[in-house]
Amino acid sequence: MAFACVVPRASAATQAATHPVSTPAPATRQVLVMLRMPSPHFRPDGAYGGGYTEDGTRAARRRVARDLAATYGLRVVDDWPMPAIGIDCFLMEDTGTGPVDRLLDTLAHDSRVAWAQAIQDYHGLADGDPLLPVQPATHAWQLPALHRASTGRGVTVAVIDSGVDANHPDLDGQIKLRRNFVDAYPDGAEAHGTAVAGIIAAREGNGLGIAGIAPGAKLLALRACWETAGPPARCNSFTLGKAINFALMSDARVINMSLGGPRDRLLETLLDAALARGVTLVGAADPAQPDGGFPASHPGVIAVASDTQRAPPPGSLRAPGTDVPTSLPGARFGLVSGSSYASAHVAGLAALVLELRPGTTPARLRADLDGGARIVPAALASGAGQAGSIDACAAVARAAGACFCLCPSTTTTASLPSPRPPH
C-alpha cells in the first residue's frame, strides 16, 4: 500500500497552541480617560487578581465620568479599575465630529482628569505559519504566490482515509463534515488521515503549524481506513465503497485516495461514476507496483508519486512527498514522507484550479497539471523515469489566465494569455 511511515516531531509551540480569538477593531473615535483613585492603600482580592475592594469613592468617580461625558460630548462605554497604578480607566466614545486630538487636549486640561489618550491597536509578532518556511511546496510550488490567486474557496475535497482529528487547531473549521464507515474498529483521530487532511487544507495565517495547499477548501473527512500496529492504515472494498459513494452523494469536487491495493469491480464502478459526474480523482502511486497500483492506475485517476521516488510509474505526476511537515493528532505536528502525501498536494492543487475555473473537467485538469510538469534533466540521467514534477505556478496560471509568480517552465508559460491581476 502507498502509506508512508509517520515520524512525529512535536514542537513546544504546538503543545501550547490555543485557538485564536477574533477581537473587533476599536472604533477610531474611542478614547481612554483616566481618573485618579484616592491615595489610601488598597488590598488585592480574588475578584480581579490584582484588583481592589470597593473603596466607597468608585461611585463618585463614575459620576465624574458621566459629567465629563456630558460636558464634552462623549459616551461612557466601559470602565475598569487599575489600582496598581492608582487610576480608574474609562473607555469613552466621542459622539461629535471634531478632531479627536483637540478633544484629548481639552480633556488633559480638565483638573478632574489624570490623563486622556487615544486607544491604540497592537498585533502579535508571531509568524503566520511557523512551519511554512520548511514546507517543500513553499519553494517548489511558490505556495504564498499561489494563494494570492486562489485558496480553493468553495471547493469540497473528500479525504477518504483513516480518521481525521477534526479538533486539531490547524484543521479547526476546515472540516465540513466527518463520517465513519468502519464498524469493526473504534472511531478516532488517526495519524495518516490527519496528516493528509493538513497538507490539503490546514488553516493559513493562524500562527500555528503549516498552511494547506488549499486552505480555503472544505473537507469531507471520510474514515474508510483504520490504523493498527502493522501498516499505517488498512481499508477494504466495502468501507472504501461506502466512503466513495458518500462523497459522490455529498457533491465532492475532488476525491483524494492516498491508498493502494488490488483492482476491485465495486470500486472501479464507483470511480467511473465519479468521473462521469466530473469529479477529480487523485490517487497515490504505490512505489512497489510498476503501474502504481490501484486506484492510481485506474483510467482517469491522477496518479501521483513522490518527487524523490526513483522510477515512478509511467504517466504519473511528481509532487512534494519527502519530509513534509503536517498536522498529527493531539494538536501535534510532524514530518511525513511517501506518495500518500504527494497525492494530498495534488488534491489541494486541484482545488486551487477549480476555484478559478469551476467547470474544469477531470481530463482538462489532468492536462493542465501534465502541461505544467517538467522532466528534471538530473532525474532523466539517473533513470528516474518519465514522470514530471508539477509546475504548480504554471498550472494555476492557466486557470487564472495570468502569470502571478515566477513560472520556471518557459515552455509552459509561452501559451498563457496576457497577464491580468488575479481575482
Contacts with 38 (C-beta within 8 Å, 6 or more apart), sequence order:
55, 57
Residue type, 30: Q
Using only C-alpha atoms, the chain has a radius of gyration, in whole angstroms, of: 28
Residue 70: CA count within 13 A, CB half-sphere: 6
User: Can you count the helices (H) and strands (E) in the chain?
Assistant: 13, 18
The CA-based angle 395-398-404, given to 5 degrees, is 85
Of the candidates 327, 340, 343, 409, the residue annotated as catalytic is 340
Q: 78 an active-site residue?
A: no
Q: Residue 83 in contact with residue 43, Cβ under 8 Å? A: no
What are the Cα distances from residue 81, in Å, to 29, 60, 75, 104?
22, 13, 18, 21
| Strands, sheet with 6-8, edge to edge from the N-terminal-most edge strand | 6-8, 332-336, 324-328
- The 8-class DSSP code of residue 370 comes to H
The Cα–Cα gap between 244 and 255 comes to: 8
Contacts of 47 (CB under 8 A, 6+ apart): none
Is residue 345 among the annotated active site residues? no
The answer to whether residue 192 is catalytic is yes
C-alpha cell at 193: 488521515
Name the 3-class secondary structure at 276: helix
List 168, 192, 298, 345, catalytic entry: 192
Angle at 264 between CA 259 and CA 270, to 5 degrees: 85
Q: Which of 161, 264, 286, 368 is catalytic?
A: 161
d(CA 153, CA 7): 31
φ and ψ at residue 334, rounded to 5 degrees: -160, 175
Grid cell for residue 162: 483513516
* Catalytic residue numbers, as ranges: 161, 192, 340
